[in-house]
């Protein structure tokens, strides 16, 4: 035991050289730690039999034991003191760093090596001196370093190698999948590239074809223009020829009748001379002679009527539009808060048109039951009912004086009615299909009508004939209206266009395009400076009539707009919609107000003269009053 008290420096130097480490520095560190009173104990397990005199027992990790070697009282007291110090540290809740699993240390490597080599005495000497140095604090275990364990490293490397192989396999699979996706993408790219090239070629071909067609069409445009002018010229010549033919036929009929009268008179005088004393002279007139005399009188009357009937002249000096002053005086705010006031059930079938009398609180309704009715306000009592049309009525219009009425019907006719008697005074026949609309000229001598046969006609009330037929639309002409106090006509057609016509010549002066669907109705403002039109998709457009340019387009669809009408001030536009809603458009603010009350489709809408009432007709045969 005495030999263990001192360790020569030469032994430490030899051990440093054998291990290749600086134990002197470690010893200095150990002395510093020993000065603080901290010791670290390691449990060493000797697997092979030892030749020393001690018996080693396994001691649990959680208990401190007296080190193997000298078991004296001083060391036992020292161990108790160390236990007390550790207890104080635990009470102070000092957290010690957890011991990490480190590879095999140098002393274990040397001990294991000596045991394997059977060098027991050298092992005893090494352990005695080594642990004595540790006890004195000359060196410390953690400062001696570690010995690399080749086997552990090999196992780690093998494990890492396996993981790398697995990763390599996964990467190979991902690379194969990516390669397949890349090939597939390349094939799709090539396919789309070829498809794109083909589309580009087709597009270029179509562009070239379109250019060729445009050039071809441009070459035909002058010829078409010339043909169109020739067509209009021929139509005018045809109309003039037909007029001359009618005039010639009338003259021939008159001459034939005159010749017949002369022959009858000559025969009568000749027979009277030959038989002066005949008894037949004083005989009563027979049925044949009576029929001849009546036919002769009728022919004379017809000839006299034809001679007296002359074509009306279009006015050249038109009076000023009286609505201009009415609009200036009406400076009150527009009304939009209409409420459903009353419901009049006037027709068994849908109501197609409602118009207000120009001077009285009377309105006329037309229905698909072939009737028109004159209704008194505000009670809604029927004052007069008109019969005569053989099919549904589409529209009606008051004479400027208010004593006559014009109606258009699906029976291809336009009828004029005397409201004082309720009788039909004139029927215009000439359209080949249903007539959609009619309108009076402000002078009261002309009526214009539009028809499904793509034409419009201007009728002379005095000569009772068609003065002009307006050609130009390529589809049904759904609405027609005279500009206030002028010879200008406005038509709206299913070919999506509006046309402005000169009624004196029958020529189309201007066409307005902008609607994408069939135009159902078009009308002027009371002042005449603006046009409103609605189409079959619910789009309402406003046009500047002075510049013939669109102002604004309002989409109130998708239900069709059946009719539009302005109030007397021109500030509010009402539209009757196929959804049964009456839309009121404020032209100043652009706001849209809705009147809900019709159970089915609304066909027509009109304002009263003072704007306090609104009347609408629907497909249920009723007229609804809003106030």
Q: What does the H/E/C string look like for 448-481?
A: EEEECCCCEEEEECCCCEEEEEECCCCCCEEEEE
Instruction: Give dist(CA 392, CA 469) in Å, integer.
Output: 23
Q: Given this model, what pLDDT does residue 421 score?
A: 85
Q: Given this model, what pLDDT does residue 25 score?
A: 40
**More reliable by pLDDT, 232 or 614:** 614
Instruction: Give dist(CA 527, CA 330) in Å, integer.
Output: 12
Q: Given this model, what pLDDT does residue 253 score?
A: 80
239 has a pLDDT exceeding 60: yes
- Which of 96-100, 284-288, 358-362 has the least mean pLDDT? 96-100
3-state secondary structure of 241: helix
Q: Given this model, what pLDDT does residue 251 score?
A: 82
pLDDT in tens, 494-511: 999 999 999 998 999 999
Average pLDDT, integer, range 224-228: 82
77 has a pLDDT exceeding 60: yes
Average pLDDT, integer, range 385-409: 93
Distances (CA, A) of 241 to 236, 237, 313: 8, 6, 20
Average pLDDT, integer, range 557-584: 92
Per-residue H/E/C for 74-136: HHHHHHHHHHHHHHHHHHCCCCCCCCCCCCCEHHHHHHHHHHHHCCHHHHHHHHHHHHHHHHH
3-state secondary structure of 609: coil
With tokens 């095999």, the residue in question is 104
pTM equals 0.53
354 has a pLDDT exceeding 90: yes
pLDDT > 70 in the chain, percent: 74
- Which of 302-316, 444-458, 574-588 has the least mean pLDDT? 302-316
Structure tokens at 147: 């010995």
Q: Given this model, what pLDDT does residue 320 score?
A: 66
Number of residues that this document lists for the chain: 627
Which of 27-31, 100-104, 105-109 is predicted most confidently? 105-109
Look over the chain and give the mean of its residue pLDDT values, rounded to a whole number. Answer: 79
- Which of 7-21, 153-167, 337-351, 405-419 has the least mean pLDDT? 7-21
pLDDT in tens, 169-212: 999 999 999 999 999 999 999 999 999 999 999 999 999 999 98
Phi, psi of 319 (to 5 degrees): -75, 160
Average pLDDT, integer, range 399-425: 92
Angle between helices 287-308 and 150-274 (to 10 degrees): 130
Q: Given this model, what pLDDT does residue 135 score?
A: 85
- For residue 220, the surrounding DSSP H or E stretch is helix 150-274
Average pLDDT, integer, range 105-117: 81
Q: Given this model, what pLDDT does residue 154 score?
A: 80
Q: Given this model, what pLDDT does residue 34 score?
A: 44
2 has a pLDDT exceeding 50: no
Instruction: Give dist(CA 312, CA 333) in Å, integer.
Output: 43
Q: Given this model, what pLDDT does residue 194 score?
A: 93
565 has a pLDDT exceeding 90: yes
pLDDT band at residue 522 under the 50/70/90 scheme: very high
């Amino acid at each position: 035991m005495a030999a263990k008290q001192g360790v020569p420096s030469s032994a430490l130097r030899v051990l440093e050289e054998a291990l290749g480490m600086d134990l002197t520095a470690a010893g200095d560190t150990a002395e510093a730690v020993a000065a603080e009173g901290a010791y670290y104990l390691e449990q060493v397990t000797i697997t092979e039999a030892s030749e020393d005199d001690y018996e080693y027992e396994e001691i649990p990790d959680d208990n401190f034991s007296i080190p193997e070697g000298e078991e004296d009282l001083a060391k036992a007291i020292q161990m108790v003191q160390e236990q007390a110090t550790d207890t104080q540290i635990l009470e102070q809740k000092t957290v010690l760093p957890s011991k990490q699993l480190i590879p095999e240390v140098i002393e274990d490597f040397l001990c294991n090596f000596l045991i394997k080599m059977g060098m027991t005495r050298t092992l005893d000497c090494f352990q005695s001196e080594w642990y004595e140095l540790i006890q004195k604090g000359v060196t410390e275990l953690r400062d001696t370093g570690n010995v690399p364990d080749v086997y552990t490293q090999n196992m780690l490397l093998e494990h890492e190698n396996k993981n790398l192989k697995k990763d390599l396999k996964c990467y190979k699979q991902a690379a194969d999948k990516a390669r397949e996706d890349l090939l597939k993408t390349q094939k799709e790219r090539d396919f789309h590239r070829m498809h794109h090239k083909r589309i580009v070629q087709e597009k270029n071909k179509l562009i070239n074809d379109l250019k060729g067609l445009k050039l071809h069409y441009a070459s035909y445009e002058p010829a078409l223009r010339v043909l169109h002018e020739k067509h209009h010229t021929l139509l005018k010549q045809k109309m003039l020829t037909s007029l001359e033919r009618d005039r010639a036929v009338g003259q021939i009929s008159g001459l034939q009748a005159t010749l017949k009268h002369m022959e009858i008179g000559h025969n009568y005088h000749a027979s009277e001379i030959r038989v002066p004393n005949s008894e037949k002279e004083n005989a009563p007139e027979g049925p044949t002679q009576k029929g001849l005399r009546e036919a002769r009188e009728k022919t004379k009357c017809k000839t006299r009527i034809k001679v007296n009937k002359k074509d009306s002249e279009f006015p050249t000096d038109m009076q000023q539009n009286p609505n201009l002053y009415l609009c200036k005086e009406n400076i009150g705010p527009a009304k939009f808060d209409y409420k459903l006031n009353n419901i009049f059930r006037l027709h068994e079938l849908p109501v197609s048109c409602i118009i207000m009398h120009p001077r009285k609180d009377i309105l006329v309704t037309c229905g698909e039951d072939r009737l028109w009715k004159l209704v008194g306000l505000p009670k809604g009592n029927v004052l007069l009912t008109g019969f005569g049309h053989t099919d549904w009525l589409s529209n009606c219009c008051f004479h400027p004086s208010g004593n006559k009425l014009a109606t258009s019907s699906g029976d291809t006719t336009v009828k004029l009615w005397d409201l004082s008697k309720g009788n039909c005074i004139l029927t215009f026949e000439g359209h080949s299909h249903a007539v959609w609309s009619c309108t009076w000229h402000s002078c009261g001598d002309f009526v214009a009508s539009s028809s499904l046969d793509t034409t419009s006609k201007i009728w002379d009330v005095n000569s009772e004939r068609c003065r002009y037929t307006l050609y130009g639309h390529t589809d049904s002409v759904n609405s027609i209206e005279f500009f206030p106090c002028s010879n200008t006509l406005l038509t709206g057609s299913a070919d999506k266009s509006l046309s402005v016509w000169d009624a004196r010549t029958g020529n189309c002066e201007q066409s307005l395009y902008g609607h994408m669907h069939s135009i159902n109705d078009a009308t002027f403002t009371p002042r005449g400076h603006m046009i409103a039109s609605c189409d079959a998709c619910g789009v309402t457009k406003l046009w500047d009539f002075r510049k013939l340019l669109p102002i604004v387009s309002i989409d109130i669809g998708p239900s069709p707009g059946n009719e539009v009408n302005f109030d007397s001030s021109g500030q509010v536009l009402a539209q009757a919609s196929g959804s049964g809603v009456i839309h009121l458009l404020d032209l100043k603010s652009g706001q849209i107000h809705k009147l809900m009350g019709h159970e089915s489709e609304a066909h027509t809408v009109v304002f009263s003269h003072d704007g306090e009432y609104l009347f609408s007709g629907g497909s249920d045969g009723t007229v609804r009053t809003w106030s």
